[in-house]
């Protein structure tokens, strides 16, 4: 949605059906999908094997996809961006940056790491003015956590600015504000 808001036409690819996806969608492997004809390519490989909670669910055996996607993109001349969590097993060569909901005036503190073949000067986190952050993950709960409050699923769509999506889709997403900012930066160059 963020790239759309920045003026791009969107084509989504995922191996799983995405019935609420608001743009052109192809159910296919993103690792093998043809990339010819695109002006920008963005990928968000599964992050579960890279999170600090990976030991809670015995991994998903998808951690290899991050490296594979970056390897595939290295040969592209168009701008590419790969997104994942900030974690000890997330390595990205080249230029990378981190975005946070607090940078965009959001109540969520959702740090995500982006690698690219283009240089981006990302906005800084603004945790001090954000106040107590709300977490959008898991099954929600409305309870206080170590780093803030865990939002209720009924709050997910508003907090993430994703009114079209269901809570179980939102917990796997990044806020459109992040990709809108990236898209706007790409349009400046």
Residue 162 near residue 173, CB atoms below 8 Å = yes
Asked whether residue 153 is assigned to any structural domain, the reply reads no
Question: What integer pLDDT is reported at residue 20 of this predicted model?
Answer: 87
φ/ψ of residue 178, rounded to 5: -65, -50
For 138-183, how does the pLDDT look when each residue is reduced to its tens digit (9 = 90+)?
766 767 776 677 888 899 999 999 998 989 888 888 899 999 999 9
For 74-127, how does the pLDDT look when each residue is reduced to its tens digit (9 = 90+)?
889 999 999 887 765 666 667 889 999 999 999 988 888 898 999 999 999 999
The stretch 11-30 carries a mean pLDDT of 92
Instruction: Label the pairing between strands 112-116 and 80-85.
Output: antiparallel
CATH number of domain containing 20: 3.40.50
Asked whether residue 158 is assigned to any structural domain, the reply reads no
Residue 71: give the domain boundaries: 2-124+176-188
């Amino acid at each position: 949605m963020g790239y759309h808001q920045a003026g791009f036409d969107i084509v989504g690819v995922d191996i799983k059906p995405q019935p609420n996806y608001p743009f052109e969608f192809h159910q296919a492997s993103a690792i093998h999908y043809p990339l010819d004809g695109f002006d920008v390519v963005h990928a968000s490989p599964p992050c579960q094997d890279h999170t600090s909670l990976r030991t809670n669910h015995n991994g998903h055996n998808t951690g290899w996809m991050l490296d594979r996607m970056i390897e595939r993109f290295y040969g592209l001349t168009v701008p590419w961006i790969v997104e994942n969590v900030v974690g000890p097993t997330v390595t990205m060569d080249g230029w990378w940056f981190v975005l946070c909901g607090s940078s965009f005036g959001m109540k969520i503190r959702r740090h995500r790491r982006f690698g690219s073949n283009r240089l981006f000067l990302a906005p800084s986190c603004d945790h001090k003015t954000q106040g107590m952050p709300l977490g959008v993950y898991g099954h929600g709960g409305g309870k206080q956590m170590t780093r803030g409050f865990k939002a209720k699923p009924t709050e997910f769509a508003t907090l993430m600015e994703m009114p079209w999506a269901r809570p179980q889709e939102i917990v796997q997403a990044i806020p459109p504000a992040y990709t809108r900012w990236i898209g706007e930066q790409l349009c400046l160059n």
